Structure 1
Amino acid sequence: MNTGYLSKYINRYKKQFSIGLTFLILETMGDLIQPTIMSRIIDNGVRQGDMNYVLKLGGLMLLVTALGAACAVVRNIVSSKVSQSFGADLREDLYIKIQGFSFDNIDEFQDASLITRLTNDVNQIQNFSHGMMRVFVKAPVLGLGAIVMAFLLNPKMSLILLGVVPVVGIVIAINLKISYPIFTRIQKALDKVNGVMREYLAGIRVVKAFNRFNYERERFRTVNRDLKDITLKGMRIVAVFNPLVALAVNIGIVLVLWIGGLRVNVGNMEVGKIMAFINYMTQVLFGLMIMTRVLNMLIRAKASAERIGEVFEAENSILPMDNPISINNGKGRLEFENVYFKYHSSGKYVLEDIDFSANPGETVAIIGSTGSGKSTLINLIPRFYDVIKGKIKIDDIDVRDISLDELREKIAIVPQKALLFTGSIKDNIKWGNEKATDEEVEKVAKIAQAHDFVKSFNEGYDIYLGQGGVNLSGGQKQRISIARALIKKPAILILDDSTSAVDLITERNIRKGLKEYLKDTTTILIAQRITSVMDADKILVMDKGKIVGMGAHEELMKACEVYQDIYHSQIGKGALDLDA
């Protein structure tokens, strides 16, 4: 069971947990004493008409009740603090673990499942820990204590209790065995609901554009119905077993009343002890009912703990070096040496024998059909994935020998899908360098051809962007993303089809600004439009994961058939030839 990680938090909070349990036990002891005090009031005070005795023990009952209430207040304060702190620590550690994951790890778990584990699964364990210090520990203590007190009160009558408890234990054991796999399936069903919701919200514009509401509604209805069905199955089990526990205990209470009544009639037992015995039976019933609820929650918490444990136990496929080599003074020369790569979920290489170099100040463009491996290739440079065979070097040092922080500090990426964060435009640009001045922000925005449209807003660079930059167009988001990369002043700049949403004139101005601003930067440019790559110092033509052509535009027009096909298909269809 993948729950060993919990010992870290148990050790961290065991003192506070022990304090909470101490006050819980004191509160429970007060509950256990009261039926005995009450029996003495009835048998020794009320029966004999001794009001002083009644008042004396009545005052004692009030004192015990007050002390129990005080213990309950302290216990509630401690339990709330410990459970919330534990939940926050667990959630943060899990988030940090996920942050360190490679793309392979994220692909393995899936985004929606990781979100469920960070939220619902952590909440299940947090709620269980909270309940442990409130009623979960109190239930067995109260139940066992009631049995002990009943035995001290009347050993023969307590045999009824000893007969009821094993029956209830068998019922609970069967419940545990049946329920566990069902509650595990509930969490997986919740993963699917989160996955559909996440995909819908991410693609809501496409859904609206194609009017696919019925399709999406049916998708959600299917996973939602699956979640409902499996949850109902779990609840039906709870609905069957809880009454069985109550039935067994209530039969015990009926036996106590029947046998106790007979003994009172013959003068072998006092009425007060019968009432105390019934109270203890009720406490046993309460304890067993809570224990059943505890075990149901334990099953869910156990399933959640194992799912979280899977994340903690997952080995990051991107392993840092113990003694990394520094590239602080490096120039940014990039070299691929016979690189092969395949995804873990695929047995086929998606990149084969990739071999090329890019020097500082040089622009290397990559072009090819969709699925040819262009984006996969650039994902290997910052080690989002690791090569299977071959080497990728920066300044003659294998990227696997460089610390991840230092490696990624040298690289700036403008992704194919521009992603902005909630906050101002200035905040988004300063993601590349949080210490940048306003002047630097404006400078890179001008190079990225973003300054003019930003200044058209009343708030300028302080305009607030919604999640994902929803109040900007695709081209505007791409230009902000380019500015964010430029302000980092990287040694290597990767542009993954990052001007696909801007017009050709704006793209030409951006390329001109990049060439002037990043004279010593190694630039890797991926593009679909051939006009975007024609001016590059070197062009790589990719097809089915291999480099099928390499050279300048003129060379490839003479020697590379794939490049010629791309050129003629685009230029021949009326695209602007910027060389004309």
Structure 2
Amino acid sequence: MLVQLLRQFLSQYARPIALLLVFQLVQTIAALYLPTLNADIIDKGVVTGDIGYIWRVGGMMLMVTLVQVACTIAAVYLGARVAMGFGRDVRRAQFVQVESFSQQEIGTFGAPSLITRATNDVQQVQMLVLMSLTIMVMAPIMMIGGVILALQQDVPLSSLLLVIVPVLAAVVGLIISRMVPYFRAMQKKIDTINGVLREQISGIRVIRAFVTEPRERRRFGDANTDLYDTSVRAGRLMAMMFPAVMLVMNLSTVAVMWFGGHRVDSGEMQIGALTAYLSYIMYILMAVMMSTFMFMMVPRASVAAERIRGVLDTDASVVEPLQPRRDTEHAGVVRFEHVTFAYPGAEKPVLHDVTFEALPGRTTAIIGSTGSGKSTLLNLVPRLYDVIDGAVLVDGVDVRDLAGEDLGALLGLVPQKAYLFTGTIADNLRYGKPDATDEEMWAALDVAQARSFVEELPDGLGSAVAQGGTNFSGGQRQRLAIARAIVRDPRVYLFDDSFSALDYATDAALRAALKPRTRRSTVIVVAQRVATIRYADQIVVLDEGRVVGTGTHAQLLETCETYQEIVYSQLSVEEAA
């Protein structure tokens, strides 16, 4: 995936990169040409007192400088454009890849890590690309050109390069090799601090309710200090880089002036040539120093690239069929045939040999104790997970043989945790049906018992919704999530404990209003409260992932011991009857 992305990037930006190379080449040639002109002014103009020659060569130097400045501006612009485009494409590729992930892959990486990989990691690689285009293209040209021109000025004095360059390369290499482990650790610690922040912000009400702010501050402080300590260690090594490079450069300058001065004194070298030679030595060392900037970024960027590649090269466990079935009638019949499912790495399956059928025009309820596999069973229908044995069928077709778009169009899912998106109420209600009219949305709000509080809002359907719907109560969020599913008018409704935040009166009114709206659809309800599902046409009782009873409320009260325990834990004998 990453290799394919790089190929697309190179093909898309081939022309800007080619222009950038041209500008870098012209810029470097201009920079290397200036010391030669400067040497000519000294040797042929200043020494001889030829003012006209000084003006002519000085004007030429000015022209060369202007060309160098123009090429530098163009090269930096193109480099920034290409690097920012690369970052955009990598972020988009990661986003598309994460969208294809099932809950299994999301859980493997974790939300904080995925966020870091799509932001901080991409930024590290993006900066490396920018530095590569603006520095690493110019540095080799400047180094090679500097060596050639230095040899032209004085070959014996150029023997200093055999000492200077290896020493500088050795110093830089030693420091960088020690920085890599710290940069690798820093990215992981950024994941950790993101996870702590995300958890504390999401759970702020719980933290305040239990007055655990001091403990959470200590927890964040530990993660923050851990990142700080690692960053300081990496920073110390980074801080050593510049003094080491400058030390080598200054010693090189002293050495050139010392040995060059002796050659000038003996008449083997002219003053202008020594000045030009000193400039070329500085160019060579500057090229090495620019490469040093690059090498300082390579360790951290390489770690970030590995993490990005980890996302892009991860195959989703839930994949689209190669030849999806499209020749089925959409009646909405859902059937579980000997379904077995286990989470990756689990010691035993969550669901064992589950078989039942949910029909249109009927409500099928799933009930069981906590951890019995109710929500997991419901999540198999929209393929949030795939079964490991058996099959989930919709209208006689295995959901694994249906295109995701076709399957999604049949379903209206209301998750256990009602989640609303940033925008307006209308935006959220149109999430499953973009062309829904205001009349359709108000009708859905009527059924979901949400019309009253929406009408009381100043902007009605245009009222703002914060991220996650945090500006609404839990019951209001659930009703809006239910209305969102109703607006879609699907063939199959999936309610995952979607009435738990409602009081009994609202629950009863909503179910009564929902029945005529779903008379042609299949309704599957996961619930904890018996009052919510006692009037269902079919109740499936789960116990430790197995179906231990199927029937109506009255039938199960007579035949299913597990159902009796659940009912009598919530209702009296008279109420249950």
* TM-score of the pair, normalised by structure 1: 0.96
Q: Deviations over 1:201-240 (max 9, x none)?
A: 2222222222222222122112212212222222222223
Secondary structure of the structure 1 residue equivalent to 2:27: helix
Following TM superposition, by how much is the alpha carbon of 1:3 offset from its aligned partner in structure 2, in angstroms?
5.5
Following TM superposition, by how much is the alpha carbon of 1:327 offset from its aligned partner in structure 2, in angstroms?
5.9
Letter in 1 for 2:264: V
* Partners of 2:445 and 2:451 within 8 A in 1: yes
Give 1:87-236 correspondences, 5 Å limit. 87-236=87-236
* Partners of 1:3 and 1:306 within 8 A in 2: no
Letter in 2 for 1:404: G
Other-structure match for 2:365: 365
Letter in 2 for 1:192: T
Give 1:340-355 correspondences, 5 Å limit. 340-355=340-355
Give 1:313-352 correspondences, 5 Å limit. 313-326=313-326, 329-352=329-352
Give 1:8-23 correspondences, 5 Å limit. 8-23=8-23
After the TM superposition, list the runs of 4 or more consecutive aligned residues in structure 1 that deviate by more than 4 angstroms: 1-4
Cα distance in 2 between the residues matched to 1:150 and 1:393 = 78
* Partners of 2:367 and 2:527 within 8 A in 1: yes
Cα distance in 1 between the residues matched to 2:380 and 2:259 = 80
* Partners of 1:327 and 1:402 within 8 A in 2: no
Following TM superposition, by how much is the alpha carbon of 1:528 offset from its aligned partner in structure 2, in angstroms?
1.2
Cα distance in 2 between the residues matched to 1:77 and 1:31 = 19
Letter in 2 for 1:210: F
Other-structure match for 1:302: 302
Give 1:465-544 correspondences, 5 Å limit. 465-544=465-544
Letter in 2 for 1:55: W
Q: Deviations over 1:308-351 (max 9, x none)?
A: 11111111111211111126622011111111111113232111
Cα distance in 2 between the residues matched to 1:486 and 1:469 = 18
Give 1:264-279 correspondences, 5 Å limit. 264-279=264-279
* Partners of 1:102 and 1:384 within 8 A in 2: yes
Cα distance in 1 between the residues matched to 2:208 and 2:62 = 66
Q: Deviations over 1:243-294 (max 9, x none)?
A: 3333233222211111111122222222222222222222222211111110
Q: Deviations over 1:85-143 (max 9, x none)?
A: 22112211211111111111111111111111111111112112222222232223222
Q: 1:164 to 1:99 in 2, by over 3 A?
A: same
Secondary structure of the structure 1 residue equivalent to 2:500: coil
Other-structure match for 1:456: 456
Cα distance in 2 between the residues matched to 1:409 and 1:488 = 8
* Partners of 1:341 and 1:349 within 8 A in 2: yes
Secondary structure of the structure 2 residue equivalent to 1:352: strand
| Range 541-550 or range 481-490, more displaced | 541-550
* Partners of 1:454 and 1:461 within 8 A in 2: yes
Following TM superposition, by how much is the alpha carbon of 1:470 offset from its aligned partner in structure 2, in angstroms?
2.0
Q: 1:99 to 1:92 in 2, by over 3 A?
A: same
Other-structure match for 2:36: 36
* Partners of 1:492 and 1:521 within 8 A in 2: yes
Give 1:365-384 correspondences, 5 Å limit. 365-384=365-384
Cα distance in 2 between the residues matched to 1:302 and 1:5 = 16
Q: Deviations over 1:415-447 (max 9, x none)?
A: 111111111111111112111111111111100
Runs (5+) with no aligned partner, structure 2 = none
* Partners of 1:352 and 1:545 within 8 A in 2: yes
* Partners of 2:540 and 2:547 within 8 A in 1: yes
Cα distance in 2 between the residues matched to 1:147 and 1:106 = 53
Give 1:46-125 correspondences, 5 Å limit. 46-125=46-125
Secondary structure of the structure 1 residue equivalent to 2:383: coil
| Range 127-136 or range 430-439, more displaced | 127-136
Cα distance in 2 between the residues matched to 1:3 and 1:228 = 34
* Partners of 2:330 and 2:410 within 8 A in 1: no
Cα distance in 1 between the residues matched to 2:234 and 2:342 = 41
Secondary structure of the structure 1 residue equivalent to 2:119: helix
* Partners of 1:32 and 1:145 within 8 A in 2: yes
Secondary structure of the structure 2 residue equivalent to 1:294: helix
* Partners of 1:3 and 1:309 within 8 A in 2: no
* Partners of 1:2 and 1:310 within 8 A in 2: no
CA RMSD of aligned residues (A): 1.8
Following TM superposition, by how much is the alpha carbon of 1:530 offset from its aligned partner in structure 2, in angstroms?
1.0
Cα distance in 2 between the residues matched to 1:238 and 1:3 = 31
Other-structure match for 1:547: 547
Cα distance in 2 between the residues matched to 1:256 and 1:540 = 89
Secondary structure of the structure 1 residue equivalent to 2:461: helix
Secondary structure of the structure 2 residue equivalent to 1:485: helix
Letter in 1 for 2:515: K
* Partners of 1:3 and 1:305 within 8 A in 2: no
Q: Deviations over 1:393-415 (max 9, x none)?
A: 11111111111111111011111
Secondary structure of the structure 1 residue equivalent to 2:22: helix
* Partners of 2:496 and 2:527 within 8 A in 1: yes
| Range 233-242 or range 143-152, more displaced | 233-242
Other-structure match for 1:311: 311
* Partners of 2:493 and 2:521 within 8 A in 1: yes
User: Would you say how many aligned residue pairs link Structure 1 and Structure 2?
Assistant: 577
Q: Deviations over 1:472-525 (max 9, x none)?
A: 111111111001001111111011111111111111111111111010111110
Letter in 2 for 1:40: D
| Range 411-420 or range 195-204, more displaced | 195-204
* Partners of 2:329 and 2:395 within 8 A in 1: no
Cα distance in 2 between the residues matched to 1:534 and 1:500 = 15
Secondary structure of the structure 2 residue equivalent to 1:157: helix
* TM-score of the pair, normalised by structure 2: 0.96
Other-structure match for 1:430: 430
* Partners of 2:556 and 2:563 within 8 A in 1: yes
Q: Does 1:441 align with 2:437?
A: no
| Range 445-454 or range 322-331, more displaced | 322-331
Letter in 2 for 1:153: Q
Following TM superposition, by how much is the alpha carbon of 1:376 offset from its aligned partner in structure 2, in angstroms?
0.7
Following TM superposition, by how much is the alpha carbon of 1:50 offset from its aligned partner in structure 2, in angstroms?
0.9
Other-structure match for 1:287: 287
Letter in 1 for 2:284: V
* Partners of 1:264 and 1:271 within 8 A in 2: yes
Letter in 2 for 1:349: P
* Partners of 1:327 and 1:395 within 8 A in 2: no
